[in-house]
Every structure is written in C-alpha cells, then in structure tokens.
C-alpha cells in the first residue's frame, strides 16, 4: 500500500465492525462511538460543532483510516492482510516482555521520569486510538499496584492499556525511556507516528 493512501471501509453501510464504529479525536481525546456509519460521522460532526471547530475536508476519510488500523483483515480497502495489528488481548510474549521491563526497572533502582514528562506522555496516550482495555491477565494490574507504586498524572482517568505493547499505561508513562526502548524495539512498526515510543517520531524523547 502506498503510505499516502488512507485505508477505507469496503462497505460503510454493511455489517457493523467488531465493537462498533470507533474514532478517537486526536485533538481532545473525545471517543466517538456508534453502531451505524451515518450515526458515527454525525456524532463526530456534532462534537466539532459543539466545540466551535471547523470540520476537516477529509473528516470521513480520516475516521475510516483510523478505524481500519484496528480492524482485522477483510474490512478495508488498500489494506495489507499481513501487516502487524494491535489488539487488546495478551499473549505470552507480551507478558514475558513486561516481566523483563519490570526486572530492568528494579535493577536500575526503580527510578521514575519527571512529573512533567509523565504528564506529557499520559496526554498523548489518552488521545490515542490504541489506548484500549487489555484482557487476559488480571494479575498484571495487581503487579503494577504492588510493585511500582508510581505517582499519578492528571490523565490517569483516561489511561487503560496499550494495544501494541500491552503495558498498563498508568505505570508505563513513569518508566525511563532507555528501559522501555529495549522492549519497544520488537513492536516499533505497530506504534503510530505520534506515539512517544516511536523511534524518531515527533513525540519521541530519548
């Protein structure tokens, strides 16, 4: 697929995608969710109007492209069925990677990044369409609570799990970047360009 070509739903009036039509506004993090395409687009237009924001000329194309990034093969045009896909379930490799990150963090002395940096990261994650509920490991939440004892950010209420690395975001935003980079290398091609974990991305700070 040409990088400049946006993914498009094959049939906007056909079956509803898994979990419905979803779009996360990159400006304010508003989650636009509906069960029909027309209601979905209308809801986002209402949100823009209510906030006195001009509707982008390519609004529908942008919404479809973001949604298609999260859908399984067969839903969208211009898609590559073999591209890596983020999802909300855990597998063993994700759990093993998290344990390695925890171990490296403890060996380093359990250091946290400055509060300003944690807030910056949390804001980015709160507005990301890959900020999803992660299923499959209830123990991970307990591990974060009992082991990390991290601080908080003003965006914790909006943080869930990363659909790429499967980390609990309320904890991850406090970790030193050099530790995260060791595990992030295996999933770099799945992070969106604006992610603070994307090497050489606009929000990456080594």
Residue 204 inside a domain? The answer is no
Q: Are 192 and 198 in contact, with CB atoms under 8 Å apart? A: yes
Q: Is residue 203 domain-resident? A: no
How far apart (Å, rounded) are the C-alpha atoms in residues 185 and 103?
17
Residue 145 lies inside a defined structural domain of this protein: yes
Report the C-alpha gap between 158 and 37 in whole angstroms.
25
pLDDT in tens, 75-89: 999 998 888 777 655
| Tens digits of residue pLDDT in 111-165 | 788 999 999 999 999 999 999 877 655 545 555 665 556 578 999 999 988 888 8
Which residues span the domain enclosing 69?
A: 8-77
64 in a structural domain: yes
- 68, 131: one domain: no
Residues 52 and 132 in one domain: no
Q: How many domains, the chain?
A: 2
Tell whether 97 and 172 lie within a shared domain.
yes
Is 199 part of any domain?
no
pTM, full prediction: 0.79
**Residues 101 and 161 occupy one common structural domain:** yes
Please state, in angstroms and rounded to a whole number, the distance separating the CA atoms of residues 98 and 109: 17
Q: Do 98 and 61 fall within a single domain?
A: no
């Amino acid at each position: 697929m040409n990088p400049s070509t946006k993914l498009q739903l094959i049939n906007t009036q056909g079956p509803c995608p898994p979990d419905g039509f979803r779009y996360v506004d990159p400006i304010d993090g508003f989650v636009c969710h509906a069960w029909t395409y027309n209601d979905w687009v209308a809801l986002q237009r209402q949100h823009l109007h209510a906030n006195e924001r001009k509707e982008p000329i390519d609004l529908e194309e942008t919404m479809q492209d973001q949604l298609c990034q999260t859908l399984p093969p067969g839903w969208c045009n211009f898609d590559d069925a073999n591209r890596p896909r983020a999802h909300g379930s855990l597998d063993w490799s994700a759990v093993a990677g998290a344990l390695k990150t925890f171990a490296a963090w403890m060996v380093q002395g359990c250091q946290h990044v400055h509060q300003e940096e944690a807030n910056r990261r949390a804001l980015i994650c709160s507005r990301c369409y890959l900020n999803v509920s992660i299923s499959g490991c209830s123990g991970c939440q307990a591990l974060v609570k009992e082991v990390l004892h991290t601080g908080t950010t003003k965006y914790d209420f909006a943080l869930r799990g990363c659909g790429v690395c499967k980390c609990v975001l309320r904890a991850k935003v406090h970790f030193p970047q050099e530790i995260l980079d060791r595990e992030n290398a295996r999933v770099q091609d799945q992070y969106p360009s604006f992610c603070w974990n994307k090497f050489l991305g606009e929000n990456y700070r080594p």
